[in-house]
Each structure stands twice: as C-alpha cells, then as structure tokens.
Amino acid sequence: MFAQFGSLPEWLVVGLGLGAAGSVAVAGLFVAAARLFPPPAADGSSGTGERRRREELRSYLRAIEEPFAEDHFVEGQPVAFYLPKRDVAITFDARAYYRIDRSPTVPVLVEHEMPGWHLGARLPFETPEIDGGSTGESERTEYHPTADAFRELGLPTSATLEEVKGAYRRKVKEVHPDHGGDEEAFKRVRRAYTRAKQHAAD
C-alpha cells in the first residue's frame, strides 16, 4: 500500500498529510468549544441557572394565579414572562428592561440568582402571601413589598403620588451611578418607585 505513495509527487503526499492534520485539529477545536461554550437551551434560556429561575417564576405565578405568557415580545424586546392582565414584562435582560421602561408596559428586571418567591416583592401590584420553601419563611411572612417600597423612598404608605415623585427625584440624585452612587441602590430605588406610584394615595 505504501509503495503506491512512492509513485505520487512529494508535494501531493505532503499536502494530503497537512490537510488531514488540519482537519483533525479543527474538529478538536469544535469539540472543545462545544464543551466550554454550550449552545443556548431549547427554551431560549442561557443555561441551567436561568432554566431553574424560569421554573421557580412559573411556579410562583401559578401559585398566585396570575395569567402569563412566556417568551413574549414587548416593544420589540423578547421577555421571559408577560402578564397580560397587568401589562407587566418580566425579563432577565437589562437592555430589554431599559428599552421597555420608556413604554406604558411596566418592566421587572430579575437577576438569575434571585429565588422565584422574591418576584412578589418586585411586581408593581399586591400579591397574595404564599407558602414557599423551608428557607426564609418567617421573613416572607413579615415582608410587605408595598410598605417596603415606600420605606425605601423614605415615605409613609399614605404618601400621595406627588410626594412619591418628589422623593424618587431626590433619592435618584443620591444613588445614580453617574453621580458616584451605587448601581444596586439605584435599581432598588427604581423598583421602589415603580411599586409606590402604583399604590400612592390620590
């Protein structure tokens, strides 16, 4: 068999060898890349963390009997969950959150690490108390998201919409990242404002 290669030009034998070696190297790169950077899951999530959070959010929304649609488009942005009765979009994507924030739909940004039962504190409407897992049950029972939103703005729950807006403007100046503030505090204030303005006194 090897005698046959003796009759072939040397350049052809070298080219075939290099081509075979290159093919093996490229195939190896694809295998390594597939292991290091797995493709997105079929449900549109980016990994096991998001899949787990989606399942927890799904369970929570069912527990509070809130109708929802998954992987819905709002203002041209895909969101994980959309609540049609409330016109609320729940997303894991900060860019989608800020784009939707300029529309009538209320966006809710959810971190991948956030437990599903925390969603109630983020939603801009009253949610019923539900029993969750074994961890943090006492905290869940005592926690009132609307009161906490007013507290974040430094207001009583009887505050008017004008008072809520004024407190929000003052707080934003303190915590905005562009003015040396903290990004997480800025997000908390925005969430508090979204909730408080829904429940402000007339």
Alpha-carbon torsion, ordered 57, 61, 63, 65, to 10 deg: -170
pLDDT by residue (tens digit) across 100-113? 988 999 999 988 77
Task: Assign domain 139-202 one CATH number from 3.40.50.1220, 1.10.287.110, 1.10.443.10, 1.10.540.10.
Answer: 1.10.287.110
Residue 143 pLDDT greater than 60, yes or no:
no
d(CA 21, CA 180): 55
How many CA atoms lie less than 13 Å away from 20 in the CB half-sphere? Answer: 6
pLDDT tens-digit series, residues 110-124: 887 777 778 888 898
Q: What is the pLDDT of residues 44-96, one digit of tens each?
A: 444 556 788 888 888 889 888 899 999 899 988 899 999 999 999 999 988 89
Q: How far apart are CA 172 and CA 64, in angstroms?
A: 32
Please report, for residues 10, 13, 20, 29, 32, the alpha-carbon distance to residue 24 in angstroms, rounded to integers and kept in the order given. 22, 17, 6, 9, 12
- Going 165 to 169 to 175 to 178, the CA torsion angle's sign is positive
Residue pointed to by tokens 């998001």: 50
Q: Where are the CATH 1.10.287.110 domain residues in the chain?
A: 139-202
CA atoms within 13 A on the CB side of 172: 11
- Every domain of the chain with CATH number 3.40.960.10 lies at 42-121
CB-CB neighbours of 167 under 10 Å: 20
Homologous superfamily of domain range 42-121:
VSR Endonuclease (3.40.960.10)
β-sheet bridge partners, residue 74: 77
Looking up tokens 């049609």 gives 84
